[in-house]
Amino acid sequence: MNNAQCPFQFLTASYLVRILDVKASTLADLADGLEKCSDGSIFFHTFQSLGRHHFLTEGFSNDFAQWILTACNRAELAEQLASLDIRDYTAIPELRADLRRIVKDYCEQHSAFATQQAFEEFPFCEAVEVTTPLGIQAWDLRQFSAGLGRLSHASLHYHFIASRLRLHFSTNDFSQWLENCLGLKSLASRINQIDIYTNTLDSLRDLLMNLIEPELHT
């Protein structure tokens, strides 16, 4: 079994939620808020929301889409926002621009709905990240597999989902290490194809293990 030149360090991230002084009670407010809020807020309501609700595998994508569906009753706009795939984004400004464009276009096309009061307000929040080493590292695929088995949901989210923003590349920490440090390009690619929208973090772990298992015997 190949040894890596550098080990994979398993970390975990814990998030503190800050409540911002930005709220939306109409779709027009939401468009404004999407312009004014911090990058941490966009992250919280999209990338982090997916992690917080990982156990929902049907129809939940991000907080904005959920609010538009349940508080504004605008299913077609909710669908447009829900269909944004965070895997396509490696930087928050790009994601913010698309979110804002979709909401703004809708408001322009449906001006009566733009100022309609929602059932409840949308409070913008932001996530403040604190990372901590878990004290687990892997020098080869077997140790990596063992490490995966011991990871919490937060750690899986940090390495597999939030990592795109850190790496500024359409991949994740696991695939990056497997390809660059162990030379397992095909395995890295297959792992990167796992659909995080239709899996829970637990089923994500099972899929990872299933993909790695045959490689342990080659």
Partner 1 sequence: MTSETNVLRKIYLDDYSPILGEAEVDELRALAHPLHGHTVQMVNSTALGGGVAEILTRLVPILQELGLSVRWDIITGGNEFFAITKAFHNALHGGPYPLPPESFDAFLATNEQNLTRLRMDCEFTVIHDPQPVALIKGRENNSGHWVWRCHIDLSRPNLTVWEFLKPWVSKYDGAIFSSPEFTKSLSIPEYLFFPCIDPLSEKNRELEPEEMRAVLERYRINPRRNILTQISRFDRLKDPVGVVRAYRIVKRYFDCQLVLAGGKADDDPEGETVLQEVIEAAQNDPDIHILNLPPWSPTEINALQQASTLVIQKSLREGFGLTVAEALWKKKPVVASAVGGIPLQVIHKHTGLLAHSVEGAAYQIRFLLSNPALAAKLGQQGHEHVREHFLITSNARRYLTLFLLFLRAGK
Residue numbers at the binding site for partner 1 (CB under 8 A): 12, 14-19, 21, 23, 52-53, 55-56, 59-60, 66, 69-71, 119-121, 123, 125, 128, 130, 132-135, 150-155
Length of the chain: 218
What is the nearest approach in angstroms of partner 1 to the Cβ of residue 108?
27
> What string of DSSP letters covers 175-202?
HHHHHHHH--HHHHHHHHT--SSSS-HH
126: nearest Cα among 20, 32, 35, 12: 20
User: Which residue, 30 or 188, is less far from partner 1 as judged by CB?
Assistant: 30
User: Which residue, 11 or 211, is less far from partner 1 as judged by CB?
Assistant: 11
User: Which residue, 18 or 190, is less far from partner 1 as judged by CB?
Assistant: 18
Question: Which single residue is written with the structure tokens 């468009």?
Answer: 31
User: CA 65 to CA 67: how far, in whole Å?
Assistant: 6
What is the nearest approach in angstroms of partner 1 to the Cβ of residue 150?
6
The partner residues of 127 in beta bridges, in order of sequence, read 17
What is the nearest approach in angstroms of partner 1 to the Cβ of residue 101?
26
User: Which residue, 16 or 112, is less far from partner 1 as judged by CB?
Assistant: 16
Enter the tokens of residue 108: 């322009």
What is the nearest approach in angstroms of partner 1 to the Cβ of residue 61?
11
What is the nearest approach in angstroms of partner 1 to the Cβ of residue 210?
18
Residue type, 79: E
Enter the tokens of residue 21: 């002084």
Element (H, E) at 23: strand 8-24
What is the nearest approach in angstroms of partner 1 to the Cβ of residue 1?
24
User: Which residue, 78 or 84, is less far from partner 1 as judged by CB?
Assistant: 78
Contact predicate 154/142, CB 8 Å: no
User: Which residue, 60 or 106, is less far from partner 1 as judged by CB?
Assistant: 60
Find the DSSP H helices in 37-183: 39-43, 49-52, 63-70, 75-82, 92-109, 111-114, 141-149, 153-157, 163-167, 173-182
